[in-house]
Amino acid sequence: MTAVGGRRRWGRADQAVRLGPRSAVVLGLASVAGLMMFVWPLLVRVEPQSMQHGPDAPFVFIGILPVLIVIVLAELSEGGLDSKALAMVGVLSAVNAALRPLGAGTAGIETVFFLLVLSGRVFGAGFGFVLGCTSLFASALLTAGVGPWLPFQMLASAWIGMGAGLLPRRVTGKAEIAMLAGYGIVVAYLFGFLMNLWFWPFITDAEVSYHDGHISYVPGAPVGDNLHRFVVFTLLTSTAGWDTGRAITNTVAILVIGPAVLATLRRASRRASYGATPTFAAPVDRFRRAGGALGRNAGGRPADQEVPMDPTDPTVRAFVAAINAGDRTAFDALLAPGATMSDDGTERDLDSWVDKEIFFADGRMTVESEQDGGLSLVATFTNSTWGDMRTRWRFTVEDGKVSRFDTGQA
């Protein structure tokens, strides 16, 4: 939990859109109400009918829209969703809408969920909930998929995005990709389970020729009995086919392109500085003055002109100087054998990252503050790809060499 502008927010500082208490309450209530939409036929007596949810689907849809509005307003009032985050919701919804026709659900191939999982992971639970609803709504308009099933698809997808935002934040690197792939498998089957539940109580004669037991909904039967019939119905009709296809699609997409997509989304988040509260302070708080009160320093600069501070630790100071000088040889000489690094919690290949982000992109560091004797820095990092970014840096120095550094959004 962090404090931003005097308000409590849940989520790590590197999570783009963190969840406030008001938003958490709204999401919780919306989820409980949404779950009741799915399970109420198990709790009361209903008669199977050919229309299924036809009569009540419009009312469900009408109920979802105020929930979305309330969530967005709650996030806006707490600083969780600003104009940039809303723009990102629109962009990702459009991308998901364009991706969905590539699979169109054939044999369970669903291309819409992997991006939803990755986006929820980066931007947070509230963002993921809204994106799940808007993605399915936009894709339904694009693919002529509007029907009584749509509000239920929107809710189930919203939970997928929200759940991704609630996964443990400490997991990084390859373990994070493995965790997201596992989550993609679980939600693939849960989505199929929920989407079967929305219509199963309303169909007649659900029996299949390859199963002798009774798997249709029985009006007035105990909840446990009907739930058992429903589980068997799901296992026989969708688990091995549609749901498994969806799980495979999620797994392959997350494993193959997940690392690149996560890095791209995190860079976009860092570049946009979601939820950042502007602060104004006297320059002396961020920079050290060079020289004395009068005259000029040794470099010929007026003594009262402020210059970026130099880190206290000599190795880190040389590290920053090598970056600002564009001196790759001096930079490499400061690294311990086998040195490692991470960017926004993701393990990266150090040589490739340094080339791409620093020396091939004219990277520069302006140090604003330090802690731990110069081993922890807050600095404005600038390169030709991303422009100015306020970043944090943490160094591990052994025997005068940098054995590891971690950087990310400040």
Domain that holds residue 328: 309-409
With cut-offs at 50, 70 and 90, classify the pLDDT of residue 62.
low
Whole-angstrom Cα distance, residue 83 to residue 275?
Answer: 10
Q: What is the identity of the amino acid at 301?
A: R
Residues 130, 217, single domain; the answer is: yes
* 209 neighbors 53 (Cβ within 8 angstroms): no
Q: What is the identity of the amino acid at 100?
A: R
Residue 344, in any domain of the structure: yes
pLDDT at 185: 95
> How do residues 132-145 score in pLDDT, each as one tens digit?
988 888 888 877 67
**Average pLDDT across the chain, whole number:** 77
pLDDT exceeds 60 at position 14: no
Residues 330, 227, single domain; the answer is: no
DSSP letter (8 states) at residue 334: T
With cut-offs at 50, 70 and 90, classify the pLDDT of residue 304.
very low
> How do residues 76-108 score in pLDDT, each as one tens digit?
555 556 677 778 888 998 898 888 777 655 656
Residue 297, in any domain of the structure: no
Residues 82, 157, single domain; the answer is: yes
Of the ranges 6-15, 101-110, 112-121, which one carries the lowest mean pLDDT score? 6-15
Whole-angstrom Cα distance, residue 307 to residue 309?
Answer: 6
* 132 neighbors 93 (Cβ within 8 angstroms): no
Of the ranges 60-74, 205-219, 222-236, 350-364, which one carries the lowest mean pLDDT score? 60-74
Q: What is the dihedral of CA 230, 233, 238, 243, to 10 degrees?
A: 30
Residues 163, 249, single domain; the answer is: yes
352-360: average pLDDT: 87
With cut-offs at 50, 70 and 90, classify the pLDDT of residue 305.
very low
| CB under 8 A, 24+ apart: contacts of 54-61 | 54/148, 57/147, 57/148, 57/149, 57/150, 57/151, 60/151, 60/152, 61/150, 61/151
pLDDT at 65: 55
Domain count, the chain: 2
- Residue 187's nearest CA partner among 118, 124, 123, 139 is 118
pLDDT exceeds 90 at position 22: no
Residue 295, in any domain of the structure: no
CA 213, chain centre distance (Å): 43
With cut-offs at 50, 70 and 90, classify the pLDDT of residue 74.
low
DSSP structure string for 48-115: --TTTTTTTHHHHHHHHHHHHHHHHHHHHHTTSS-HHHHHHHHHHHHHHHHHHHHHTTGGG---SHHH
Residues 360, 267, single domain; the answer is: no
Q: Is 143 helix (H, G, I), strand (E, B) or coil?
A: helix
Residues 341, 248, single domain; the answer is: no
Task: Output the six-digit token pair for 145.
Answer: 């998929």
Of the ranges 117-131, 230-244, 283-297, 317-331, which one carries the lowest mean pLDDT score? 283-297
Residue 356, in any domain of the structure: yes
* 255 neighbors 177 (Cβ within 8 angstroms): yes
Whole-angstrom Cα distance, residue 285 to residue 127?
Answer: 34
Q: Is 344 helix (H, G, I), strand (E, B) or coil?
A: coil
Whole-angstrom Cα distance, residue 142 to residue 354?
Answer: 42
In terms of Cβ atoms closer than 10 Å to its own Cβ (0-12, 13-18, 19+), residue 260 is exposed
Last residue of a domain, one of 212, 244, 272: 272
The CA–CA distances, whole Å, from 335 to 259, 329, 357, 388 equal: 25, 10, 17, 25
Residues 261, 330, single domain; the answer is: no
> How do residues 215-231 score in pLDDT, each as one tens digit?
777 777 788 888 888 88
Task: Quote the longest CA-to-CA distance of the chain.
Answer: 97
Residues 221, 332, single domain; the answer is: no
Residue 183, in any domain of the structure: yes
In terms of Cβ atoms closer than 10 Å to its own Cβ (0-12, 13-18, 19+), residue 248 is middle
Last residue of a domain, one of 272, 294, 318: 272
Radius of gyration of the chain (CA): 26
Residue 294, in any domain of the structure: no
> How do residues 140-175 score in pLDDT, each as one tens digit?
887 767 777 788 888 899 999 999 999 987 887 888
253 sits in the region (left: phi over 0; alpha: psi -120 to 50; else beta) called alpha
Residue 83, in any domain of the structure: yes
317-341: average pLDDT: 92
Residues 397, 266, single domain; the answer is: no
Whole-angstrom Cα distance, residue 309 to residue 141?
Answer: 55
Q: Is 403 helix (H, G, I), strand (E, B) or coil?
A: strand
pLDDT at 282: 47
* CATH number of 391's domain: 3.10.450.50
Residues 77, 185, single domain; the answer is: yes
In terms of pLDDT, which residue wins out, 309 or 81?
309
Residue 303, in any domain of the structure: no
Residues 74, 123, single domain; the answer is: yes
In terms of pLDDT, which residue wins out, 219 or 346?
346
Residues 392, 345, single domain; the answer is: yes
Beta strand spans in 211-295 (E):
288-289
> How many other CB atoms are there within 10 angstroms of residue 120's CB atom?
28
375-393: average pLDDT: 88
Highest averaged pLDDT of the listed ranges 25-39, 294-308, 361-375: 361-375
Q: Which residues pair with 3 in a beta bridge?
A: 8
- Distance separating the N- and C-terminal Cα atoms of the chain: 16
Q: Is 365 helix (H, G, I), strand (E, B) or coil?
A: strand
